[in-house]
Chains A and B, each alone.
Chain A
Amino acid sequence: MSTIQQAGPTDEAGTDSAVAILAPRTSSTERVLRIVVPITMLVLAVVAWHFTVVLNNIPKYILPKPYDVVVSLSTDWPTLLPALMVTLRITFTALILALVGGVAMAIVLVQSKWIELALFPYAVILQVTPVIAIAPLLLIYVPDTQAVLLIIAFLVAFFPILSNMVAGLKSVDHNLLNLYDLYGASRWQTLIYLKLPAALPYFMAGLRIAGGLALIAAVVAEFAAGTAGQGSGLAFRLLEAQYRLNIPRLFAALIMLTGTGIAIFGLTSLIAWLSLHRWHESAIRREN
């Protein structure tokens, strides 16, 4: 499935320079199958769904046909799109704040043992408390409901970034740290040239977790907050559709959320791949 290309050894470098650089190559059949197999499975599932509804005469308000969902998706678009935008705005604002906050906090935490000891209890308390449980409290303290949703989504996305970043910043090769000391590197240089790049794989792992969690938190927080009217997100539209037994619309909203989740996963995976594929084992295909 792959070809081995011999890197031209130089005369000077001797025996150990004859290193094989592997060029992973997938055959065209496999590449086609990689796309065809999952799509076929998806189509089969939708067809099975359709016939289950039709053959069992299941009413629309219990389980709509796939076609009804598609119709709802297009007719309810004017209602659902603004809701999607609200949810997206909360999700991404929370994610960006969590990224900035998590990284900054991690850098502060690893500066000194004492700072870490002093702040550690708060980190643990906040992390072990189901954040959604403080939503009622936040709703009292914070007048703006949208701000409450943002705070909750932020808190949920914040900790994976923080804990991964702390682990990453601490896992720097000690000899490399020694080397930086030897060359008289400043704290700043060590951070920028050594610690942050070394923590990048950990950060990316945190980003992928946080991306998914931010969306979940944005939805769950909206359930808990029960926003009404203006500025309401997809979660509110879900509940609303349920009350009205508008199940096709409920499915349509659900599909939009799923699509958003997939998009976030794809985006964070792409960012991770782009930044790591040149050097990190996690982004390299194994060839034996």
Chain B
Amino acid sequence: MRGVSKVFSNGTLALKDMTLDVQRGEFLSLLGPSGCGKSTALRIIAGLGAASSGSIDWPSSKINSKGLPQGDIGFVFQEPTLMPWQTVLGNVYLPLRLAGVSKADARPRIMEMLASVGLADFADAYPRELSGGMKMRVSIARALVTKPKLLLMDEPFAALDEITRQKLNDDVLRLWKQSGVTVIFVTHSVFESVYLSNRIVVMKARPGQVYADLPLHTTGERNAEYRTSEEYRATTQEVSTALHDAIHAGGGTH
């Protein structure tokens, strides 16, 4: 997904002339204070709300009637957003079902996906029987089961406890490396964004705009060691400073 550029400005000025090129295979975090329009930006990318002006270009994709690349986007919401009346299997089946894939054909793909998020044994469980972290894994499995080129994540782990959150961060990194999917990850956590991404876009509020664009290349693996390394600490400080400046530049009282 080379050279995606989108320029839009919203009526309420949630976002003003935001331009962003996302490279194929990137792990990009949108970081910013609440109200900076990062979720709005994500929803517009997903086609869940039209931009009032500006456009999004999708290179090298089949475009459907709504101007979206068909079947190429996966979305993970802040809540797991599972259908309680469906089993884990049924929930992950949803995107394929809507695309007209029969359950028999979809089953191996679903089971493979569930295995990769560690939930193979829970295919027939109902969402209410799962913990918060497991529900989120189901949600991620559902987003990835169509093998999308772009995965959008809207503060997916904000409601989870720290331990579960770190575990899921590692899982997301692993899935990202395995699948080569492009990820746009919305978060308000500096630590999470530094741990996960290879590019951090800091946004400022009122109006929502890109404030800083920080590429991030780490020497070693991202693991527990990285979490306590000097490199991680320095990057965190750099990003925190950028975020701090962005909050003040926004003139907001955050």
Closest to B129 in A: A21
On whether the beta carbons of B133 and A16 are closer than 8 Å, the reply is: yes
Taken together as a complex, chains A and B put the C-alpha atoms of A8 and B120 apart, in Å, by 12
For A197, what are the chain B residues with a Cβ–Cβ distance below 8 Å? 83, 85-86
How many chain B residues touch A (Cβ–Cβ < 8 Å)?
42
Interface contact A183-B164, CB-CB below 8 Å: no
Choose the segment among B21-29, B71-79, B220-228 that binds chain A (4+ C-beta atoms closer than 8 Å).
B71-79
Q: Which of A161-211 contact B (CB under 8 A)?
A: 173, 175-176, 178-185, 189, 193-194, 197-198, 200
Given the interface pairs A15-B164, A16-B131, A17-B134, the reply to whether A176 lies near B81 with Cβ below 8 Å is yes
> How many chain A residues touch the partner (CB < 8 A)?
32
Which residues of B lie under 8 Å from residue A189 when comparing CB positions? 98
Which chain B residue shows the least CB distance to A12? B118
Identity of the chain B residue whose Cβ is nearest the Cβ of A173 in the assembled complex: B81
Give every chain A residue within 8 A of B134 (Cβ-Cβ): 13, 16-17, 19
Bound form: Cα–Cα A284–B127 in Å: 14
- Are A10 and B66 closer than 8 Å at their CB atoms? no
Looking at the assembled complex, report how far the CB atom of B5 sits from the nearest CB atom of chain A, in whole angstroms: 21
CA distance A197 to B68 in the complex (A): 28
Is B130 a contact of A10 with CB atoms below 8 Å? no
Q: Mark B53-96, 1 if CB is under 8 A from A, else 0.
A: 00000000000101010110101010101011110000000110
Q: Determine the distance from Cα of A15 to Cα of B120 in the docked complex, in whole angstroms.
A: 16
Nearest-Cβ distance from residue A58 to partner chain B, whole angstroms: 55
Contact with A along B88-123 (1 / 0, CB 8 A): 000000110111000000000000000100111110
Q: Is the CB of A182 within 8 A of B48?
A: yes
Q: How far is the CB of B156 from chain A (nearest CB, A)?
A: 12
Q: In the assembled complex, how far is the CB of residue B18 from the closest CB belonging to chain A, in whole angstroms?
A: 21
Nearest B residue (CB) for A11: B118
- Smallest CB separation, B79 vs chain A (Å): 6
In the docked arrangement, what's the CA distance between A198 and B82, Å?
Answer: 11
Q: With an 8 A cutoff between CB atoms, is A278 at the interface?
A: yes
- The answer to whether B98 touches A200 (Cβ under 8 A) is no
B1 interface residue per 8 A CB criterion: no
Interface residue from A175, A181, A280 paired with B84 (Cβ < 8 Å): A280
Q: Quick one: given A12-B118, A21-B129, A193-B97, are A279 and B48 in contact (CB under 8 Å)?
A: no
Whole-angstrom distance between the Cβ of A102 and the nearest chain B Cβ: 20
Q: Are A176 and B83 in contact (CB under 8 A)?
A: yes
A229 interface contact, C-beta 8 A: no
Closest to B163 in A: A15
Binary contact track A141-164/B, C-beta < 8 Å → 1, others 0:
000000000000000000000000
Q: How many angstroms from the CA of A175 to the CA of B143 in the assembled complex?
A: 13
Tell whether A194 pairs with B83 under 8 Å between CB atoms, given A17-B131, A19-B134, A182-B73: yes
